[in-house]
Amino acid sequence: MRTNRLPPWIRATLPTATSEAKIRSNTYGKGLATVCTEARCPNRGDCAAQGTATFLILGDKCTRNCRFCAVDHSTAPAPPRPEEPELVAAAVASLGLRYAVVTSVTRDDLPDGGASIFAETIGAIRRNSPDVHIEVLIPDFRGSKSALETVVKARPDIINHNLETVPRLYSRLRPQASYERSLELLRGVRDCDPEIFTKSGIMVGAGETREEISALVEDLVETGCRVLTIGQYLQPTPRHHPVIRYLPPREFQELKKSALETGVQIVAAAPLVRSSYKAREIFAQLKNATRPASAPES
């Protein structure tokens, strides 16, 4: 059964004019983009009020065309801007961030998938703001081990790579991606540098079953992944994949409990949870955790 009607438990916070203006002046006003805006994240109001944003590097056009994502698609996006890493670092400093999240569109047109720009951005932030913790949400780099090693050697605090959905739905939702390739990337981080935390996220309500989610979590645990975010899939536009089901908050708590029991260390699960939401709080919890614990709820 498909549905487009939002249930009462899904409520997004609209950004205030002041908070959104501050974020925009330090990002779009300086030629940068945020995934918060480009992907139409429902939490951008809440995050803007806290003075946080997830920087989107390598432009705002993605070479892939996933059926769940609102980011614009292009087969020939503009070349990377050499000044972008320093612009991001300056924005992090100007916003007074203590925790920076950097992600990108997928750039299959680039030889290294943009890995060198990720590394340069991490380095620029470290030079400008040495006390800031850095999380990167990276694409799969088409399975390139050398590209992954480039990012790992830059030593971000967390490397996040989202599985997004269960393997059966990849051909429908992520036809240019590979479930196994994404698992291999997460394993690769562990093999390159086991001190770097790994994280992944999935969306639910796109047609997956509970049994398929359980199998996915088992696969994630095998890779050494420490953090999992689970949120409700929301259809960006009518041309995107429809929402099959809206899960009530109770079911998110059940998914969270099951994932913790399977071996994930920290789980954030709620309808509006997204991969970068409350990232700083989750990182602090991860650093201080001595036993499996749950993450803050949205």
Instruction: Tell me the average pLDDT across 178-182.
Output: 98
What is the C-alpha separation between 95 and 174, in angstroms, rounded?
34
User: How far does the chain reach from its first CA to its final CA, in angstroms?
Assistant: 27
pLDDT score for 4: 59
pTM: 0.86
What is the C-alpha separation between 230 and 267, in angstroms, rounded?
8
In 3D space, the residue among 193, 107, 185 whose CA is nearest the CA of residue 143 turns out to be: 185
49 pLDDT more than 70? no
pLDDT score for 289: 73
pLDDT confidence tier of residue 39, bands split at 50, 70 and 90: very low
Return the CATH fold of 17-294. TIM Barrel (3.20.20)
pLDDT score for 35: 47
* Range of weakest confidence among 24-38, 136-150, 173-187: 24-38
Contact 148, 41 (CB under 8 A): no
What does the block give as tokens for 178?
A: 């590979």
pLDDT score for 46: 54
* Domain ranges (residues) in the chain: 17-294
With 0-12 CB in 10 A as exposed, 13-18 as middle and 19+ as buried, what is 147? buried
Give the position of tokens 């709620």: 270
Contact 92, 128 (CB under 8 A): yes
In 3D space, the residue among 238, 207, 213, 208 whose CA is nearest the CA of residue 228 turns out to be: 213
pLDDT confidence tier of residue 298, bands split at 50, 70 and 90: very low
Bridge partners of 227, per DSSP, are: 199, 266
Phi, psi of 190 (to 5 degrees): -60, -40
DSSP string, 113-160: TTHHHHHHHHHHHHHH-TT-EEEEE---GGG-HHHHHHHHHT--SEEE
Average pLDDT, the chain: 86
What does the pLDDT look like over 228-237, one tens digit per residue?
999 999 998 8
202 pLDDT more than 70? yes
